[in-house]
Amino acid sequence: MEHSRDRIYVDGAWIPSTGTGTLPVTNPYTEQVLGTVPEGTAEDVDKAVRAAARALPGWAATSLEDRVKACTAISEGLQARAQEIALAASTEMGAPWQLAVMVQAGLPIISFASMADLVDEVEWERRSGNSVLVRQPVGVVGAITPWNYPLHQIAAKVAPALAAGCTVVVKPSELVPGVAYLLAEVIDAVGLPPGVFNLVPGTGPVVGEAIVTHELVDMVSFTGSTRAGRRVAELAAAAPKRTSLELGGKSASVLLDDLSAEELGNAIAGSLTGCLINSGQTCSALTRLLVPRDRLAEVEGLLEVFAQFAPVGDPLQPGTQQGPLVSKVQQERVRDYIQKAIDEGAKLVAGGPEQPEDQPTGFFVRPTVLVAEAGSTIEQEEVFGPVLTVVPYDGGDEEALAVANGTAYGLSGAVWASDRDRAVAFAKRMRTGQVGINGGAFNPTAPFGGFGQSGYGRELGSLGIEEFTNITSLQL
């Protein structure tokens, strides 16, 4: 697969960047540089945004049916290249092969295909008294996306934006840009009108900030860290312009006190899986496991065993459950969190900060389980690695709820109970965007987004399309 990309995609054509800089793309398993992408410039962004602004009236006037057909064609194009997408996700960010196929390649295909059904759930026009409320495209959208689900996070913005009649400028993560190039190639082959989709790789401080501050960008959809999200909101506020932010998380999986021994085992297995998916590099990962204090020893024993069934290794080997983290910087950050937790008195149940003995290279962090009290650093702050913090609670559901809601975040969560009605009642009181009940599966067409410092706005589902619209009231 071609990893060295020397062009940007603007106005329906592959053109050189106006700058001469390049950014290296590294394989986090071999630690070798795979290739480079252009280090985009503010001038590149200006070209892309102006192309998107020129294309907007024509694309907005295209029928909804034709816009949906384009999304369906893109989905089919991605399906045809699913193996390439999975390979790029494995080699550029370390996603284990099975996850790369099912999630890294699979979800973006669903996002584009789902537009055919989801547009029917949107009320494009409705009466209200003597008015007709009409949904209009918000305009030129700047999409700034992260490295952990590099194509899914792009598709979750681009598919609904295109369906809504918007034009788009995408900044992919400079760490994992290959999948974005594959999407651009698919879109080029589908033959969208020039300027409807544009791709400019580069760094956040240059390309990202140029997108956010450009006078012709009507809305910025950003996924990434809370720190970077604050910067996006701050810059956008000067215009002001619309933003949708999907940021960090510290999601709680709560075990209520009525679980049988068998149910407890299932809940712990489900919670650990929900923590370790994508090697823990998931904003909605279930990174806190809240357990009744009188069952802590039982939980620790199970986790010690279960953590051994998450083999670390070469992402392209079929049995690998845990790949490397995306970069050396990320590896060191996560290891520092583990060491700090131990220094502050957390109990190490499994894993630890050391390199796995059988992996001499690769940015690995061993799947780690710690026990820590509510309010500790490891219980409060997002780690973004394969680290589960077990948090004992006393005092029944009310204290469990206080601990679950006791961080600055609110992106996801889970509740486990013998009594399903009790679990549902508990879940409704959690200040978070999604809650799994007794292992309820992730729904790729349900709205996704957060409370608090996890951001605002919603992606996926019909609300994900509505996010890219504005309302005009026609008074009759």
What are the residue numbers of the active site? Answer: 246, 283
| Residue 255: C-alpha distances to residues 292, 386, 397, 427 (Å) | 7, 20, 10, 12
Report d(CA 465, CA 157) in Å as an integer.
Answer: 9
DSSP letter assigned to residue 105 = I
299 within 8 A of 268, measured Cβ to Cβ: yes
Residue 8 vs residues 16, 148, 203, 311, 435: alpha-carbon distances, Å:
6, 22, 14, 38, 39
Chain mean position to CA 415? 22
List C-alpha distances in Å: 352 to 94, 348, 362, 366, 402: 20, 7, 16, 6, 29
Token reading at 241: 């312009």
- As a 3-state breakdown, the chain gives helix, strand, coil percent values, each rounded to 5, of 45, 20, 35
As a whole number of angstroms, the distance between CA 359 and CA 7 comes to 35
Contacts of 475 (CB under 8 A, 6+ apart): 130, 131
